[in-house]
């Protein structure tokens, strides 16, 4: 297990760059947002088989600032090449994957979010994401993102993956110029993506930033997508 602890006030570009470093290992990893602390990335290495998550400092993944987490709250278990989360009734407030409470053991899929107390653990499996790409193309088979929308997402995220990373996503004008689209077409694609990502209630600038974050954190857009 390799851990990278970020400062509590780490900027979004810093977090996204840390996620890309973890992604580059090719191994599954967790993006942890612990209550009362800065974000933490945990790369799950080949030697890891069983990891405890909880409020106790003795846990492999401690959540010491989370008053709603039990001391030994949940267990992460390697199952072949995948990982599962298990809660056999030890936790006081339960463990959730999305909106579903975990009873016994639940296999994790790339992009799923585990809630433990007030903390969240986003599970990423880069190798699994690669398997879902279309033959002859780099577009992931995601039922909620069309190939055209994904091209817009890649252009939107490009500045965040620059060297050095820029603090904001690409403008509609920049996206339109890159993809040879009209700005109206870009706005139409982004409107649909805002709805599908459930960020429609945010302010306009915040929508764009959050959409880019979601695309990068879930692996819909990856570093190789913006490389020449």
Let me know if the fold of 2-129 is the same as that of 133-226. Answer: no
| Mean pLDDT (whole number) for 68-96 | 91
| Mean pLDDT (whole number) for 118-141 | 56
**Number of Cα atoms under 13 Å in the Cβ half of residue 181:** 21
- Enter the pTM of the model: 0.64
Please give the C-alpha separations between residue 187 and each of 6, 192, 195, 208, in angstroms, as whole numbers.
34, 9, 12, 11
Residue 8 pLDDT > 90:
no
| Mean pLDDT (whole number) for 192-208 | 84
pLDDT tens, residue by residue, 169-197: 999 999 999 999 999 999 999 999 998 88
Specify the range with the lowest mean pLDDT, choosing from 23-27, 36-40, 133-137, 209-213. Answer: 133-137
133-226 has which CATH code?
1.10.10.10
Q: For residue 110, what are its two tokens?
A: 């790339």
Please give the C-alpha separations between residue 29 and each of 35, 48, 112, 113, in angstroms, as whole numbers.
19, 11, 12, 12
The pLDDT assigned to 111 comes to: 82
The pLDDT assigned to 15 comes to: 82
Domain coordinates of the chain in residue numbers? 2-129, 133-226
The pLDDT assigned to 127 comes to: 60
- Please choose, from the candidates 30, 227, 43, 28, the residue with its C-alpha nearest in 3D space to the C-alpha of residue 129: 28
Question: At the topology level of CATH, where does 2-129 sit?
Answer: Tumour Suppressor Smad4 (2.60.200)
Please give the C-alpha separations between residue 31 and each of 41, 52, 175, in angstroms, as whole numbers.
5, 16, 28
């Amino acid at each position: 297990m390799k851990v990278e602890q970020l400062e509590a006030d780490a900027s979004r570009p810093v977090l996204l760059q840390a996620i890309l470093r973890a992604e580059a290992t090719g191994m599954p990893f967790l993006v942890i947002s612990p209550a009362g602390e800065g974000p933490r990335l945990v790369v799950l290495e080949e030697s890891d088989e069983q990891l405890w998550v909880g409020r106790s400092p003795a846990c492999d993944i401690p959540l010491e600032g989370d008053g709603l987490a039990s001391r030994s709250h949940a267990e992460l278990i390697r199952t072949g090449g995948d990982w599962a989360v298990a809660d056999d009734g030890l936790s006081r407030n339960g463990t959730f994957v999305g909106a579903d409470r975990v009873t016994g053991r639940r296999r994790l899929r790339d992009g799923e979010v585990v809630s433990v107390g007030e903390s969240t653990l986003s599970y990423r499996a880069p190798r699994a994401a690669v398997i879902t790409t279309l033959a002859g193309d780099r577009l992931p088979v995601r039922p909620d993102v069309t190939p055209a929308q994904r091209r817009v997402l890649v252009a939107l995220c490009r500045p965040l993956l620059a060297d050095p990373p820029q603090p904001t996503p690409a403008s509609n004008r920049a996206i339109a110029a890159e993809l040879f689209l009209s700005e109206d077409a870009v706005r139409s694609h982004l409107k649909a993506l805002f709805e599908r990502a459930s960020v429609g209630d945010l302010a306009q600038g915040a929508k764009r930033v959050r959409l880019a974050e979601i695309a990068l954190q879930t692996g819909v857009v990856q570093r190789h997508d913006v490389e020449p």
